[in-house]
């Protein structure tokens, strides 16, 4: 496909050489026109392009290069050096087809001459060239000069036939755009097509208002689009990319902010009265003083709860930063207003732990219901009856809260812990259940898996974000070590010394994606092995996902009470468990865990005042795994780790921006374009602050671009 030429020829001149286009605003149909409207696009070519996802001229214009090749330096034939890649131009003198020594591969050879000398250009497996390359043709060839069979030849990477004294070549000279391409649609074809779309590009309207463009020092949309496809230099291409990335991210941010506003305007909530004795008494009665960040979070939440729009807040705080008291505070705020406050946790263990904490810290001022799958039928029926009666209540549970017969007649506040573990549908379902008389609950999402700022702005771009930075004072950082297989015995000896001091330890078995039962079996076997071997002198217990909730709860309770020294667990131990006397976390098969997960596991220790340790056993030395583990050794800051994780894995594996309902990012890469994202967020806030509906005439093009990007997702855009 690389040798393909389009059925029609067109000049190789760059867009700057063309006469200036009239300053007409673009007829939108020019972008919507099918690619077959471009010169030379036959129905067969159009079908191939369609198979590649390019249907309209607009699709082509927004199919941006992946990178650029700098072929600006042209050489004279006499200047060619062995093994050096270069572009030369000359006239074809003689063409012949041949086969390689072993007669396998067809070779086309052409003698090319310029003013300084001649060289034999060779192509492999492109026999059709004997029909295309004619004597006297002006040829530009990009390739490498190297000895083939003892004789220096010019092995061609790409070539093009030029008109005599024609301007710069398209594929072999200048800065050459390299497009995402396929078998059917070559970069070469795309380069040719893009040149035919230049008249359309020259008339593109700028979605950004002129004032903003000037203030931000941005090239126009038209300039940027042309320069992205046909740059005269690499710097120009980079500037063009920056501008287009910013525009793309700005549209996304406008979409997310608009979505948020739409939610707020459509849905009402009960404004809660100012904090009463219950919530203020709770804070005053805590065995510790709140950190400044916790305090600030409560204040933000108080402001939210006083409004007639539902709170939609994401509370993110590193492991151990103290989110639970914030959650309980929210529930109490609902209860003292005579409403229900519900907390949904991702696992049984965690729900029960929250229930214990609530009972301990909130006393029995408000009735507490616990709703998990562990309840017997009668208990459940009774609990549901009390829920249905309404009135002030704290409700803590798992997704059992979402099953068919659960009703919340007066849900004031909903807290979703470790919200990333629930699907969006599950969360929406709970919010919907909580809606009553057209009133939605206030919702606080909590996560201890820090979301990189970057993603918070995209995936959660329609939530308000509160961050609890740092952990309460007096904590000691956890010492993290990678333990070689050879040092395993020393590792166990170290753990034993901690146990001898009365401390406790976790041993986490490798995560096994395919099967929870294999994971459970591994944990059981490991517990038996340790109880009979290294930890024979200690009390060893095991928890895993296949146990009945009541059994699991009993083991956890024993560990919490200090009746178990070593808890062998599957990865389910990951979230939320809070046993301050545990000072060692041993992770087997550490390379199988994600960075965020490992950070969570490490967060299970270092919760008391004693020094704590995280020992990572890893049998693999894959570069990816090593990079993750060494990131973990470098820092204990969950946010920094999350950013590192994003870099290592790329945003694709975390969450696509597409899932954010944010349209399609063609150019922006979240890991790379973070600064642009933050800038875009600021610009979007300013634009909507000044003109909430983007109704001003100067925002017409911006509205049009948003309508194109989001379609019917944003109702208000379609109103005007």
Alpha-carbon distance 517 to 544, whole Å? Answer: 9
Query: Could you say whether residue 317 binds Mg ion (CB under 5 A)?
Result: no
What sign does the CA torsion over 398, 403, 409, 415 have?
positive
661 binds, among Mg ion, ligand ADP, none (CB under 5 to 8 A by kind): none
Q: How many residues of this chain bind ligand ADP (CB under 6 A)?
A: 16
589 binds, among Mg ion, ligand ADP, none (CB under 5 to 8 A by kind): none
- Nearest Cα neighbor of 710 from 691, 694, 690, 686 is 694
Q: Which residue stretch of 155-163, 322-330, 581-589, 680-688 sits at the interface with ligand ADP (rule: CB under 6 A)?
A: 322-330
Query: Could you say whether residue 346 binds ligand ADP (CB under 6 A)?
Result: no
Enumerate residues 6+ apart whose C-beta is below 8 A from 114.
76, 77, 88, 89, 90, 91
Q: Which residue stretch of 319-327, 367-375, 544-552, 632-640 sits at the interface with ligand ADP (rule: CB under 6 A)?
A: 319-327
CB of 640 to ligand ADP, least distance (A): 17
Closer to Mg ion at the Cβ: 169 or 576? 576
Alpha-carbon distance 591 to 715, whole Å? Answer: 46
Closer to ligand ADP at the Cβ: 531 or 632? 632
Enumerate residues 6+ apart whose C-beta is below 8 A from 310.
263, 264, 267, 268, 269, 440, 441, 442, 443
Query: Could you say whether residue 576 binds Mg ion (CB under 5 A)?
Result: yes
Contact residue for ligand ADP among 578, 637, 708, 713 (CB under 6 A): 578
CB of 570 to ligand ADP, least distance (A): 20
Alpha-carbon distance 601 to 505, whole Å? Answer: 12
Stretch 120-149: interaction string toward ligand ADP, x if CB under 6 A: ------------------------------
Residue with tokens 């072993």: 102
Tally of CB atoms within 10 A around 381: 11
Q: Which residue stretch of 287-295, 385-393, 516-524, 652-660 sits at the interface with ligand ADP (rule: CB under 6 A)?
A: 287-295
Q: Which residue stretch of 49-57, 120-128, 573-581, 626-634 sits at the interface with Mg ion (rule: CB under 5 A)?
A: 573-581
Pairing of the two strands 582-587 and 566-569? unpaired
Backbone angles phi, psi at 349, to 5 degrees: -55, -45
Backbone angles phi, psi at 709, to 5 degrees: -75, -35
Query: Could you say whether residue 448 binds ligand ADP (CB under 6 A)?
Result: yes
Contact residue for ligand ADP among 169, 207, 219, 322 (CB under 6 A): 322
CB of 418 to ligand ADP, least distance (A): 9
Q: How many residues of this chain bind Mg ion (CB under 5 A)?
A: 1
Alpha-carbon distance 213 to 222, whole Å? Answer: 12
CB of 390 to Mg ion, least distance (A): 28
CB of 265 to ligand ADP, least distance (A): 32
* CB closest to ligand ADP, residue no: 322
Tally of CB atoms within 10 A around 528: 13
3-state DSSP call for residue 413? strand
Closer to Mg ion at the Cβ: 320 or 412? 320
Q: Give the CA distances from residue 124 to residues 9, 105, 585, in Å, rounded to whole numbers and listed in that order.
A: 25, 7, 60
Contact residue for ligand ADP among 126, 294, 454, 571 (CB under 6 A): 294
Query: Could you say whether residue 290 binds ligand ADP (CB under 6 A)?
Result: yes
Show the beta-strand stretches assigned E in 469-581. 479-483, 504-508, 540-543, 566-569
Q: Which residue stretch of 182-190, 317-325, 387-395, 709-717 sits at the interface with ligand ADP (rule: CB under 6 A)?
A: 317-325
Closer to ligand ADP at the Cβ: 128 or 288? 288
Query: Could you say whether residue 607 binds ligand ADP (CB under 6 A)?
Result: yes
- Nearest Cα neighbor of 180 from 666, 708, 676 is 666
Interacting residues toward ligand ADP by CB under 6 A? 288, 290-291, 294, 317, 319-325, 448, 472, 578, 607
Interacting residues toward Mg ion by CB under 5 A? 576
């Amino acid at each position: 496909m690389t040798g393909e030429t389009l059925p029609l020829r067109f000049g190789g001149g760059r867009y700057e050489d063309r006469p200036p286009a009239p300053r007409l605003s673009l007829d939108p149909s020019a972008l919507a026109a099918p690619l077959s409207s471009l010169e030379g696009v036959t129905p067969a070519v159009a079908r191939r392009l369609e198979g590649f996802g390019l249907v309209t001229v607009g699709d082509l214009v927004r199919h941006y290069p992946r990178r650029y090749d700098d072929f600006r330096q042209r050489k004279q034939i006499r200047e060619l050096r062995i093994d050096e890649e270069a572009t030369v131009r000359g006239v074809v003198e003689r063409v012949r087809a041949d086969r390689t020594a072993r007669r396998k591969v067809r070779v086309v050879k052409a003698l090319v001459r310029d003013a300084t000398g001649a060289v034999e250009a060779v192509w492999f497996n492109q026999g059709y060239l004997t029909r295309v390359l004619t004597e006297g043709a002006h040829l530009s060839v990009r390739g490498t000069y190297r000895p083939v069979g003892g004789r220096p030849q010019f092995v061609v990477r790409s070539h093009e036939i030029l008109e005599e004294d024609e301007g710069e070549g398209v594929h072999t000279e200048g800065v050459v755009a390299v497009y995402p391409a396929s078998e059917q649609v070559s970069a070469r074809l795309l380069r040719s097509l893009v040149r035919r779309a230049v008249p359309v590009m020259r008339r593109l309207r700028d979605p950004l208002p002129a004032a903003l463009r000037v203030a931000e020092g941005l090239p126009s949309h038209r300039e940027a689009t042309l320069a992205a496809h046909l740059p005269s230099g690499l710097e120009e291409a980079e500037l063009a990319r920056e501008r287009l990335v910013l525009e793309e991210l700005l549209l996304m941010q406008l979409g997310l902010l608009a979505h948020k506003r739409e939610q707020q305007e459509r849905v009402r909530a009960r404004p809660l009265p100012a904090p009463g004795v219950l919530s203020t008494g709770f804070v005053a009665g805590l065995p510790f003083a709140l950190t400044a960040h916790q305090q600030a979070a409560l204040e933000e939440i108080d402001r939210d709860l006083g409004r007639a729009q539902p709170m939609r807040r994401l509370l993110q705080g590193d492991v151990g930063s103290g989110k639970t008291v914030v959650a309980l505070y929210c529930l109490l705020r609902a209860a003292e207003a005579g409403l229900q406050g519900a907390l949904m946790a991702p696992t049984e263990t965690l729900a029960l732990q929250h229930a214990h904490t609530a009972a301990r810290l909130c006393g029995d001022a408000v009735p507490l219901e616990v709703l998990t799958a562990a309840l017997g039928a009668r208990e459940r029926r009774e609990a549901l009856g009390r829920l249905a009666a309404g009135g002030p209540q704290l409700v803590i549970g798992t997704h059992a809260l979402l099953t068919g017969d659960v009703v919340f007649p007066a849900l004031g506040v909903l807290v979703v812990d470790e919200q990333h573990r629930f699907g969006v549908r599950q969360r929406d379902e709970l919010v919907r259940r909580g809606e009553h008389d057209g009133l939605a609950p206030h919702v606080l999402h909590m996560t201890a898996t820090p979301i990189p700022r970057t993603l918070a702005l995209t995936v959660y771009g329609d939530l308000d974000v509160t961050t609890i930075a740092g952990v309460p004072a007096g904590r000691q950082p956890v010492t993290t070590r990678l333990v070689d297989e050879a040092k395993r015995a020393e590792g166990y000896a170290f753990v034993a010394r901690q146990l001898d001091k009365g401390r406790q330890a976790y041993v986490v078995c490798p995560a096994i994606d395919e099967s929870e039962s294999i994971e459970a079996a591994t944990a059981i076997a490991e517990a038996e092995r340790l109880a009979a071997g290294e930890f024979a002198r200690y009390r060893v217990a095991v928890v895993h996902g296949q146990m009945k909730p009541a059994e699991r709860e009993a083991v956890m309770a024993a560990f919490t009470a200090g009746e178990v020294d070593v808890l062998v667990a599957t990865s389910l131990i990951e979230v939320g468990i809070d046993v301050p006397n545990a000072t060692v976390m041993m992770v087997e098969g550490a390379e199988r865990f994600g960075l965020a997960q490992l950070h969570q596991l490490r967060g299970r220790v270092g919760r008391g005042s004693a020094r704590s340790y995280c020992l990572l056993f890893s049998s693999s030395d894959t570069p990816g795994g090593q990079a993750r583990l060494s990131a973990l050794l470098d820092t204990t800051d969950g946010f920094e780790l999350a950013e590192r994780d994003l870099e290592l894995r790329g945003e694709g594996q975390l969450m696509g921006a597409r899932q954010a309902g944010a349209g399609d990012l063609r150019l922006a890469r979240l890991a790379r374009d973070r600064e642009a994202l933050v800038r875009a967020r600021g610009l979007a806030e300013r634009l909507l602050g000044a003109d909430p509906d983007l109704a001003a005439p100067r925002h017409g093009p911006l509205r049009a671009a948003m309508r194109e990007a989001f379609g019917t997702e944003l109702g208000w855009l379609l109103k005007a």
